[in-house]
Structure 1
Amino acid sequence: MRWKRVLLTTGLGTLAIFIAATAYHEWRARTQGWCIRFAPDGSQKVLYGDDCWK
């Protein structure tokens, strides 16, 4: 019985994290968030909106 409870809790926790990550990704995509692009020389550039997905 104890292992079933552990497996059930682990499975539900994993499912909850997956749902939360998916919801966060969709929210960022809809709100046209910002992102940072890193170059090989160490420089970075902040991008906004559709430029993040190119």
Structure 2
Amino acid sequence: MRWKRVLLATGLGTLAIFIAVTAYREYQIRTQGWCVRFFPDGSKKVLYGDDCWK
């Protein structure tokens, strides 16, 4: 019975950390992140910050 609680707490803790890291990364991308714009000729350009959303 006790090992079930440990496994449940470990699983929930891991899930909480994963969600927090994912949310933080999304926040970074939206505020100061980068993106790549691809063009029909096969070239690409890396954009930063607000240029990603234009």
Q: Same fold (TM over 0.5)?
A: yes
Calculate the aligned-residue CA RMSD, in Å.
2.4
Give the structure-2-normalised TM-score: 0.62
Deviation at 1:5, TM superposition (A): 0.7
Give the structure-1-normalised TM-score: 0.62
Structure 1 residue 25 corresponds to structure 2 residue 26: yes
- Which runs of 5 or more structure 1 residues have no equivalent in the other structure? none
Aligned length: 53
**Residues 2-24 of structure 1: per-residue CA shift (max 9 Å, x gap):** 11211110011101110111112
Work out which of the two has the higher radius of gyration on C-alpha atoms and give 1 or 2.
2
Q: Which residue of 1 aligns with 2:52?
A: 52
Deviation at 1:42, TM superposition (A): 5.7
- Which runs of 5 or more structure 2 residues have no equivalent in the other structure? none
